Chain A
């Protein structure tokens, strides 16, 4: 039995579900349809097969997630990832944090920011623009959300346009969603597929 990962890491763990994934061979037409819109349908992940228990949601959430994280224009890819990291730290989704921290490192070709975030959590000290983005992500992700007008001022002062702030809100919010699935329907275990 592999060990459950409890600390933040950039080594992407294996996700072990608490709920039985849908058996692809037994999937209904609607489930198969919902599964088709995922990036890879040759090897469907256990996570997506668990979500296939609710095909109506999955059908819309997959393209929504992709549009928010990978859509053209507006906020940079890496800064969307930083929003995702902030949410995942608040919600302590080890798996999401690992995936999106390693993407952030790839996109920025650096590791310092992620190391500081994983070391200090919500109190991480970062360069000005990243700090404004990260603090906003942390505050908006809390329950109830705590962001306020001063956070928007700081984002503007750090050079973000209104469209970039809009994209940041979307990236943070979609991880409020993703974390609540990934972290609550299964657990990260050490090792790889």
Chain B
């Protein structure tokens, strides 16, 4: 059972449908692990990733919030980032603030992103690999929220 299937709950008809896309469901799960709890987190520790995921869930799919709150609470060091899991909150630390500002942009208004946003991250001390890691994380979260909404609509259609 993948994370998305767990979140959707038991439904025989949806399970049959998703069973026809088993490889896709498994690659989705592996992608989630790669962005949320990677072996090499770089400058984005697992706790920060879980906090960003919870912050994004509050904006794009409230049903994901309990999942990411549990992940944040279970994460060693997660408590240090819990305060920034709420949209609108900003830390004092300039690098962390730049990361969260960019995460908010990627989640809600990617169309507004420009070169200046990447330059602002670099100026705040975010490395190029971390810029890519942050983009992959937020982009995955957008994908996951849309899968969840689409699958839920399919499940509920009778």
Chain A interface residues toward B at CB < 8 A:
18-20, 50-51, 53-54, 56-57, 59-61, 63-64, 67-68, 71, 73-74, 90-93, 140-141, 143-145, 147-149, 151-153, 156, 162-163, 165-170, 172-174, 176-181, 183-185, 187
Contacts and interface: CB of A to CB of B under 8 A. Distances in A.
Contacts of A179: 110, 139
A185 B157 contact: no
B147 A173 contact: yes
B146 A181 contact: no
Contacts, number: 165
A180 B157 contact: no
7 contacts: A74-B20, A145-B145, A169-B150, A173-B146, A180-B135, A183-B110, A183-B113
A185 B61 contact: no
A47 B128 CA distance: 14
A54 B129 contact: yes
Nearest to A141: B146
B34 A153 contact: no
Nearest to B20: A163
Given A20-B128, A56-B40, A187-B115, A176 B153 contact: no
B27 A149 contact: no
Interface residues of B, number: 55
B139 A181 contact: yes
Contacts of A57: 31, 34-35, 38, 133, 136, 140
Closest 10 CB pairs of A and B: A169-B150, A180-B139, A92-B111, A173-B146, A53-B132, A64-B27, A177-B143, A56-B34, A184-B113, A18-B118
Contacts of A92: 111
A170 B30 CA distance: 16
Contacts of A56: 34-35, 38-40
A179 B147 CA distance: 16
B6 interface: no
Interface string B116-158: 0111000000001101110110111011111101110110110
A63 B29 CA distance: 13
Interface stretch (B71-79, B92-100, B101-109): B101-109
B70 interface: no
B83 interface: no
Nearest to B60: A144
Contacts of A172: 146, 150
Interface in B48-79: 59-61
A149 B153 contact: yes
B154 A64 contact: no
Interface in B15-42: 17-18, 20-21, 23-24, 27-28, 30-31, 34-35, 38-40
Given A67-B24, A140-B149, A176-B139, 16 more contacts: A18-B118, A53-B131, A57-B38, A57-B136, A60-B30, A61-B136, A64-B24, A67-B23, A73-B20, A166-B151, A180-B135, A181-B139, A184-B106, A184-B113, A184-B135, A185-B131
